[in-house]
């Protein structure tokens, strides 16, 4: 695979043959897909109402706990004024801190329920998008691929990276597969609509990793059908499992789960900025905060040391590279 620099910072697939097979769209929207859209809309409305109630509960819980936190602060101030810790203050503080811990756990439980609702809403929105795509229906936020401008596509990819949920486990929980750098389990099968890195053959015969969307998976052949995410490609590929790498479904929190991140100088495949192709790169700096991106050095023969200057790539678009590092 050529380096990004050797291609003058443009997407490899801009040089591929134009055209390809026509978009696969049914002539009319089947009734069952239309019903699925209505059902999804109804459920999303219910979940939004439930989410609103949970947010109100969180505010109420926080207001209740505020009084107890003020009491803790005042008790400490009195102890400092009297310059002593009497048995009375010990007993009082123990009770106040026990209550504060219980209040915090109650608020945490409500927030977890809210996060679950948000995850379910996002899942339903994705299912709705796929159903609309099959039925040939589109909305303004995601027009049909054949009419999507490149700038719109880049914005959608950026939004997908920004809205990737942060993994928040309970104390003692380990991050699950597809959280940050943790790979999928061996028997994992990506679902229709999932974004993946897919290794395909270009027009010139070279192989490259592209950003693709899963269309289907055949258990009989152990092969995926995926669509090139780049509307300029308009291509569908049938690929074996080894040519597919699922993208992370959660961001890893560097402050609580640093082991779920790629480490400095680790070899990865990363999406080159403003393209839809993955290239080999070395981790320059892992994220330091939950909202941070990786800083990576792309292999690039146009530079004396063989690597580009550091470039930022979101956790969403950095996956493990199983190929050996070039010497």
| Residue-wise pLDDT tens digits, 75-119 | 999 999 888 888 999 999 999 999 999 999 999 999 989 989 998
- Condensed to tens digits (0 to 9), the pLDDT of residues 52-69 reads 999 999 999 999 899 999
Can you give the pLDDT at residue 83?
A: 85
Q: Provide the residue ranges of all domains of the chain, joining segments of one domain with +.
A: 29-141, 151-246, 258-320
Please identify, in words, the CATH class of the domain defined by 151-246. Answer: mainly beta
Instruction: Please tell me the pTM assigned to this model.
Output: 0.74
Q: Interior CA angle at 270 toward 196 and 238, to 5°?
A: 30
Average pLDDT, the chain: 85
Q: Write the pLDDT tens digit of every residue in 20-62.
A: 433 444 344 455 556 667 788 889 999 999 999 999 999 999 9
Domain 258-320, CATH among 3.40.50.1980, 2.30.30.140, 3.30.230.70, 3.30.565.10:
2.30.30.140
Torsion, Cα of 243, 245, 246, 247 (10° steps): -140
Separation CA 261–CA 313 (nearest Å): 13
Candidates 98, 68, 93, 69; CA nearest to 80 is 93
Domain 151-246 matches domain 258-320 at the CATH topology level: yes
């Amino acid at each position: 695979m050529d380096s990004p620099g050797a291609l003058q910072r443009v997407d490899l697939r801009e040089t591929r043959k134009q055209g390809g097979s026509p978009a696969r769209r049914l002539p009319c929207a089947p009734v069952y897909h239309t019903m699925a859209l209505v059902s999804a809309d109804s459920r999303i409305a219910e979940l939004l109402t439930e989410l609103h109630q949970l947010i109100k509960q969180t505010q109420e819980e926080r207001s209740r706990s505020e009084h107890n936190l003020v009491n803790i602060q005042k008790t400490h101030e009195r102890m400092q004024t009297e310059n002593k810790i009497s048995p009375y203050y010990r007993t009082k503080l123990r009770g106040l801190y026990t209550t504060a811990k219980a209040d915090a756990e109650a608020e945490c439980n409500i927030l977890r329920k809210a996060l679950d609702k948000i995850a379910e809403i996002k899942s339903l929105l994705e299912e709705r998008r796929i159903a609309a795509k099959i039925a040939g229906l589109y909305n303004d936020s995601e027009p049909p691929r054949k009419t999507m401008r490149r700038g719109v596509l880049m914005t959608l990819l950026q939004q997908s990276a920004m809205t990737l949920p942060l993994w928040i486990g309970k104390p003692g929980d380990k991050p699950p597969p597809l959280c940050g750098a943790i790979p999928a389990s061996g028997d994992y099968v990506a679902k229709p609509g999932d974004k993946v890195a897919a290794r395909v053959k270009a027009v010139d015969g070279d192989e490259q990793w592209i950003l693709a969307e899963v269309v289907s998976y055949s258990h009989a052949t152990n092969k995926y059908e995926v669509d090139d995410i780049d509307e300029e490609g308009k291509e569908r590929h049938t690929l074996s499992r080894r040519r597919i790498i699922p993208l992370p479904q959660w961001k890893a929190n560097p402050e609580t789960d640093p082991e779920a991140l790629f480490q400095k100088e680790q070899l990865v495949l990363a999406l080159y900025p403003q393209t839809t192709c993955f290239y080999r790169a070395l981790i320059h700096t892992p994220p330091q905060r939950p909202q941070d991106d990786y800083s990576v050095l792309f292999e690039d023969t146009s530079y004396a040391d063989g690597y580009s200057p550091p470039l930022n790539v979101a956790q969403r678009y950095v996956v493990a590279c199983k190929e050996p590092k070039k010497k």
